Each structure stands twice: as structure tokens, then as C-alpha cells.
Amino acid sequence: MNTKVLVLIIGTNPLPNYIVGSHLKEKYDKFVLIYSDENNEINQYSTVGYAEKLKEHLYIDNKEWTLLNISNISNKKKIEEDLKKEFREKNYIGFDEVHLNYTGGTKTMVVHIYNFLKQKCKENNIKFEGSYLDARDYKLLYDYSEEAISLKDTIKIDIKTLLSIHLYDKDITFEFYDEYSYKQKFADSVDKISQEIQNAIKSNKGEEFIKWLEDPFRKIFKGESGLLKSTVKFKKHIEKLSKDNDLSPIVKFNEKTPQFIWDILNAFPEGKKLNEEQKLWIPEDRISNKDFTTRIKDTVEFLDGKWFEWYVYNEIRDKLLKKGLKEKEHFGISLKAQRENSPNFELDIFLINGYQLVGISLTTSSRQGDCKLKGFEVIHRVRQIGGDESKAILITGLKKEYKDDSNKGTKKLQEDLSFVTGTAKDKIIVFGIDDWADIGDKIFEEVFE
């Protein structure tokens, strides 16, 4: 009996194990998944959950497999004692090869497991092979061979599997084109709304649109809590803002709104418009709170930020489909997921190229500090489930550079985020308002460079 054994060390990022296991599973008869036990005395986290999920998603039930626990990942003696439970002398009978992939696990685990298995294989005249998945070029590197196999375009993973192996199995939700929530809310008008927004951005009116959204739009509709739920409260708010001068948001809305923005506002369905002709719609006293909220809530939410998410998604969707990516599996919008005892996982837009997760975060803000926080957030989130192979893309309202402030702009922000987080320069990309018009092409180029 010539048994070939594949050994995987399971750390807190199970993605490399999934990739290597998927690539090699047909070549091996037995799988040993080495995980760490929970040990509060030494602040050791258990990875058994990841090991069990990997076993499930690698579909190795038809092969021999073992889950092997390590009680203390920092102690050489303990590691060797735990390894001997599985790798006893009699167990080597019939072994033809032992292949250790050491991408996962701590450095201490890797060193001691590697040395132990290499020595035992030597003593028993068994071929020993070691390999490592390089996150920089997505290649599987072998210790005793010049062979380097690129797996990025070979191994594919869908978003639900990626979340599942990271134990995010609760309340996974995301949207896609045909069932996008605002598409349902605005019905047949959504295409017209999208077209008018696209026209504005492609005509380089994005900056003017953002300024209008800041004032008068948000000053009118984003005031005190509950403003959009009460007709009376909203009317009092309007009265307070209604000063007969150029500083009044009401005057700005009625008299200074550019025509391209009226075109956007008029594209909304009749029952969802914020305006009557070219004036702000102010509800009559007889309008109920429910009817008032029904009319303006969805439109306000969309214009407050969701429009940007939808615009960017539309700019990349057809390109991704033509590339062979599947919507709902490899890309989507407004991703949310939960796992036990952890904060929610969220991404504005996600896409997966092979097994590389690309997370896209969006903000129309031109404030450097706000954009930097969004950058930290998206880098952290893509690393959570995508590991070092992942890429973060941040789209902002910043310009590339500012002549009067060398510490502001997308170029400076990208450099800062890369330096502070230790992220490779090609794994964090920051776009600004000057990139909006052809953002689809620029994202596509970054992802499929």
C-alpha cells in the first residue's frame, strides 16, 4: 500500500489551506489537518472550527483524514508529543510520501512540525516534501523543486465558501443587479436615475453634485433624529431654515440647484420625488406621517450615499461578467455577514478574482481624515477573510493632489495607508474624484493587471 499523506497546518486564516488542499487533494490519499486547541492559560486560540470547515468544503469524506490537535503551539516538547499521537512508528508502514504545506500556523508550529516530520520521514525512508503558498505572486513553491505553480487562475472560490471557512455562517446577505433593493423601490425609474447620475459623472460634474449634496440637500434632509418620520417636525425644520437670503438651504435648493441635478431629481418616480417641478416639496398638514415617510425616505437614503455604490457597481458589472465572473458568487454589492462573538463583516462591493478577494469601500468625502479611517477599515476587512492575498480599493471624493496642501490627496493617502498598515503598495489602491468618470476601467485594470 503506497499511501501519500498531505499535512496542512491550520491557522486563523484558512484560505491558503483551502487553496492548497483544492489543488493537491486528488494526488493524496490521506489528509492530516493540524489545528491548535484553546488554551486560555497561554492565550491560545482554537482553530478547530476552521479545520472542520475545511474538511467540509474540500470534500474529502471519500479519503482518509485526521484532525490533529496541538495543545501548546509555543512549546517544542508539547508539539512533538501531540504529533506522535498520529505519526507513530507503526503508522509509517505503507507511507510513500508525506507532504507538509506550512503556509498556515505560527512560526513556532511550522518550525517544529517541519523538523519533526522531515526527521521521521528520513528515519523511515519516506519521501518528504514541503511547500508554501506565496501571497505575493500567488504561486505554490516547493522546497525541493524549482517548480512554482501559479494558482490564482486555477483555484476559484465563491463568496459563501470564503465566508464559511472563516466561520461567517450567520445572516449572510448581499445584493446584486436584478434584486437590488433600490431597484425594487424605484421600479422602472431606476434606469433613468442611473443614466442621469452617469451623465453627470461622465461630464465631470461630480464635484458640483457632492457640494449640492452637502448643502442644501443634507442640511434639509439630514437634521435631527426622526426628521423623516414626522410631517410636523419636518415642516418646523423647514421653517427654521427658511431665511430669505442666499445662505438658506431652501433658497439654494429652489433657486441655485443646477439643471443636471434637477434632471436627476425628476428621474425619481412621482411618489418618491423630493421636489414639485423645480421647487422643494413641502408636505401639506393633512399628509400623514406614514405617507410623508413613504415619499421621501428611500430617495433621501439613496441620494445620501447609496447612489455612489450603485454607480460604481454598474460601471464594473458588465466587465466582470464578460471576464467570466459570476454575479452572486464572485461579485456583489452591500455584503454583510455575522459569526459568533464577532463584529459584523461588511463590504460595500466585493469581487473575487480566482481566490483573491477585492474589497471596495466608497465615500464621497474629501476630508483626508475621514477617508483614512475608511481606508483602515477596508484593509482590515479584506485581510480578515482574504488574508495577505487580498486587495483593498478605496474610492473617495479627494483629488489626486492639492497644490496648497502636500499632505492631502489620494496619492498621499495611498502612501500613508500602505506604510502604516504594512500593506504592499499594490494591495491598497486609492481613487479620487478625478477617477470617477472611468472608474470601471480603472478598477478592472487594478484587479486583472
Q: What is the pLDDT of residue 330?
A: 98
Q: What is the pLDDT of residue 429?
A: 98
Burial 80-105 (b: 16+ CB within 10 A, else e): bebbeeebeeebbeebebbbbbbbbb
Q: What is the pLDDT of residue 449?
A: 79
Q: Which residue has the higher pLDDT, 151 or 242?
A: 151
Mean pLDDT of 128-145: 93
- In this model, does residue 265 exceed pLDDT 90? yes
- Cβ pair 58, 21 in contact under 8 A: yes
- pLDDT tens digits, one per residue of 50-66: 999 999 999 988 889 99
- In this model, does residue 171 exceed pLDDT 90? no
Residue 1 vs residues 37, 66, 78, 92, 129: alpha-carbon distances, Å: 32, 18, 31, 11, 19
- pLDDT tens digits, one per residue of 13-64: 999 999 999 999 999 999 999 999 998 888 899 999 999 999 999 998 888 9
pLDDT > 70 fraction of the chain, expressed in percent and rounded: 99
Distance from C-alpha of 345 to C-alpha of 324, rounded to nearest angstrom: 26
Q: Please state the pTM of the whole predicted model.
A: 0.94
Interacting residues of 192 by C-beta distance below 8 A, sequence separation 6+? 267
Residue 96 vs residues 8, 27, 127: alpha-carbon distances, Å: 17, 12, 6
Instruction: Give the side-chain half-sphere CA count within 13 A for 288.
Output: 3
Distance from C-alpha of 413 to C-alpha of 366, rounded to nearest angstrom: 11
Q: What is the pLDDT of residue 244?
A: 67
Q: What is the pLDDT of residue 383?
A: 96
- pLDDT tens digits, one per residue of 393-432: 999 999 998 988 888 999 999 999 999 999 999 999 999 9
Mode of pairing for the β-strands spanning 331-338 and 170-175: antiparallel
Distance from C-alpha of 319 to C-alpha of 322, rounded to nearest angstrom: 5
Q: What is the pLDDT of residue 90?
A: 62
Radius of gyration in angstroms for the set of CA atoms belonging to the chain, rounded to a whole number: 27
Q: What is the pLDDT of residue 40?
A: 86
Q: What is the pLDDT of residue 89?
A: 67
Query: What strands lie across the sheet with 170-175, from one edge to the other?
Result: 170-175, 331-338, 345-353, 356-362, 391-395, 428-431
- In this model, does residue 247 exceed pLDDT 90? no
Mean pLDDT of 177-183: 93
- Averaged pLDDT of the chain: 94
Give the DSSP letter of residue 246: T
Distance of CA 26 to the CA centre of its chain: 31
Q: What is the pLDDT of residue 235?
A: 93
Mean pLDDT of 236-264: 91
- At 234, is the pLDDT very low, low, confident or very high (cuts 50, 70, 90)? very high
Strand, coil or helix: 357: strand
pLDDT > 90 fraction of the chain, expressed in percent and rounded: 84
- In this model, does residue 218 exceed pLDDT 90? yes
Domains of the chain with bracketed CATH? 3-155 (3.40.50.10770), 172-176+327-447 (3.40.1350.10), 188-308 (no CATH)
- pLDDT tens digits, one per residue of 349-399: 999 999 999 999 999 999 999 999 999 999 999 999 999 999 999 999 999
